[in-house]
Chain A
Amino acid sequence: MSVTADDVRRIARLARIAEPTDRIDTLVGELNGILDWIEMLNEVDVEGVEPMTTPVKFELPQRKDVVNDGDVRDKVLANAPKSDEGFFVVPKSVE
């Protein structure tokens, strides 16, 4: 498995980070180096082995259906660049 310069640009767009225009070639090389290294895992025979979701055998903890949180509007809005009347205010998100 390997990535191209286009893949790197696309991943940047999907992650909403600036396209690293001047470092694309370097990044392609570095990422492919990492992928090559991980390719090693393909040497292991996993025929008939269930994928492991977690290394610990715990049951999923569950909560009761009780309202015991929320009502912390000021905390929720504390880091918002802009808020008004209790709402987050963001740039217009519809055409």
Chain B
Amino acid sequence: MSDHTYRLTGETGDWEVVMGLEVHAQVVSKAKLFSGSATAFGGAPNTQVSLVDAAMPGMLPVINEEVVSQAVRTGLGMGSKINLYSRFDRKNYFYPDLPQGYQISQFEFPIVGEGELECEREDGSRFNVGIERLHLEQDAGKSIHDLDPNSTYVDLNRSGVALMEIVSKPYIRSPEEASAYVTKLRTLLRYLGTCGGDMEKGQLRADVNVSVCRPGDYEKFRDGGDDFSHLGTRCEIKNVNSLRFIRQASEYEARRQIEILEEGGKIDQETRLFDSVTGVTRSMRSKEEAHDYRYFPDPDLLPLELTEDFVDQIRSELPELPDAKRRRFVEDFGLSEYDAGVLVSDQSRAAYYEAVAAGRDPKLAANWVNNELFGRLNKESLGIGETPISADQLGKLVALISDKTISGKIAKDVFEILWTDGGDPARIVEDRGMKQVTDTGAIETVIDQLIADNPDQAAQVKEKPKTMGWFVGQVMKAMQGKANPQAVNEILRKKFEL
């Protein structure tokens, strides 16, 4: 057990949680997995449906080559094994939003095999999640139950859109880790450009598997080479569509299972739904026989065979990924792990930062981007794409602080002006007389006057040197914050012979 072990205390002792996630990520592509109809979000119902997607008899699926590249790209990004041979199978079940009566998926031979993802908890500690596989499959259509009291309305626009199902190993040990894993996966997918990651639009959704066990059991499971006999029976919570819900649902589910076990009951392996309004999970009824999917190879599709050259080509075009970028920010720019982590969490934020830092003090640039700019954007609920201050403007401001033209305090005023009125930082400083006064003569004059006007305070500084701060404040006030604080301190120390 590590310090991070998540434990729930029951009536009969402590319990631990074991979780595995199946994440469905919508592939970024213009057309669907096996047809030429559009994948765009928000089209009028059934307008983005071809006769292939509607499963009209005699229509044949033809695979979209870009989707194949995207799956390989994602696999490489996760450091996973790419399978040069993969195959499509039919997963058979009946549902109104599945016109074929089966989903084309990859069962026995997925396109991507095992990999690993390094994730980070809130306290900055890291943990690894093993990836079992990634396979390609079709999305289903959408059923709408609230348009009519007696019937369900079906829109097939999403039917046939390509999904990557990314299956983790059951190495996730707490609701917090589950959320951290999905966060990391989403960042990676967005860097790669293979999934938009917008959970509100359903581009990323998770099936969360939860089981509970006694302390020590998980270690036996791992030591035995993933011997599942040491773990409890799991339940699968379907289609959880936000990070917060993943946490809530898994915590509720763990507590529910503990309660049953402590009362002497047993867990039925089943599929459950999370109700985000009440915060509870409930059993999906009447699916007793739905689990008999009778997979078999899809006779309409030949196996998908890739070449090493094809994979190498994609590998050579991968962008710099978040982990590598963070390492570079720490090593080359001297940033803290935390600052670097915040900056690389989003590709466009990282790009913005690099533009600000180019040719300037990288640490100072990180402070201004992370604290001032991101702080302000968050406060106003704006994305980095909507920032009123460009990287060029902020970079120039940082340069003015570095060369001591303005103090950090004045810089905040300039920042405000840039935010509301825009403009060129150097010009603003010039026009508004905000330049820092480093002329020691001018500062000395002010100090002499202050000492003459406040003899009692001056006497006290000789007794208690710490009270010199009062004079620093007064000088700054008298000079409208424009005095160079270092110069003020130096002259004061000289005057008081400290």
User: When each residue 62-95 of chain A gets 1 if its CB lies under 8 Å from chain B and 0 otherwise, what string results?
Assistant: 1111111111110111000010111111111111
- Check B452 for interface membership: any CB of A closer than 8 A: no
> Are A69 and B36 also in contact (CB < 8 A) when A14-B292, A58-B302 are?
yes
- Minimal Cβ-Cβ distance residue in A for B302: A60
B367 within 8 A of A: no
Does B383 reach chain A (CB closer than 8 Å)? no
Interface string of B49-84 (1 = CB under 8 A from A): 111111000000011111110000000000000000
Q: Which of B27-35, B217-225, B256-264 contacts A (4 or more CB under 8 A)?
A: B27-35
Interface residues of A in 7-37 (CB under 8 A from B): 10, 13-14, 16
CB < 8 Å A-B pair total: 138
* Cβ-neighbour of B148 out of A14, A59, A89 (below 8 A): A89
B305 at the interface (CB under 8 A from A): yes
Bound-state CA distance A60–B60 (Å) is 12
Q: Which of B36, B67, B153, B292 lies in contact with A88, CB distance below 8 A? A: B153
Q: Within the assembled complex, what's the spacing in Å between the Cα atoms of A75 and B64?
A: 23
Partner of B145, one of A13, A60, A75, A93: A93
Complex: A24 Cα to B438 Cα, angstroms:
101
Indicate which residue in B35, B49, B153 contacts A89 across the interface (CB closer than 8 Å): B153
Residues A63 and B153 in contact in the complex (CB < 8 Å), given A53-B297, A69-B35: no
> Is B95 positioned at the interface, with any CB of A under 8 Å from its CB?
yes
B145 engages A69 (CB within 8 Å): no
CB < 8 Å neighbour of B46 from A13, A54, A88, A94 = A88
Of A13, A62, A94, which one neighbours B65 at CB under 8 angstroms?
Answer: A62
With A14-B292, A88-B153 in contact, do A65 and B49 touch (Cβ < 8 Å)? no
Known: A71-B47, A86-B155, A94-B145. 18 other contacts (CB 8 A): A59-B302, A60-B302, A60-B303, A60-B304, A62-B68, A63-B36, A65-B31, A65-B64, A65-B67, A66-B30, A69-B36, A70-B38, A85-B45, A87-B154, A88-B153, A90-B96, A92-B145, A92-B152
In the assembled complex, how far is the CB of residue B277 from the closest CB belonging to chain A, in whole angstroms? 16
| A residues adjacent to B (C-beta < 8 A) | 10, 13-14, 16, 53-54, 58-73, 75-77, 82, 84-95
Q: Interface residue tally of chain B, by bracket?
A: 35 or more
State in angstroms the CA–CA spacing of A59 and B303 once bound together: 8
Kindly state whether residue B480 has any CB partner on chain A within 8 Å: no
B36 pairs with A68, CB closer than 8 A: yes
Instruction: Evaluate contact between B68 and A67: CB separation under 8 angstroms.
Output: no
Q: Determine if A90 and B50 form an interchain contact, defined as CB atoms under 8 angstroms apart.
A: no
CB distance from A69 to the nearest CB of B (A): 4
Check B148–A60 contact: CB distance below 8 A: no
CA distance A70 to B43 in the complex (A): 11
Q: In the complex, what distance in Å separates the CA atom of A62 from the CA atom of B297?
A: 18
Known contacts A65-B64, A88-B154: A53-B30 contact under CB 8 Å: no
Complex: A71 Cα to B286 Cα, angstroms:
35
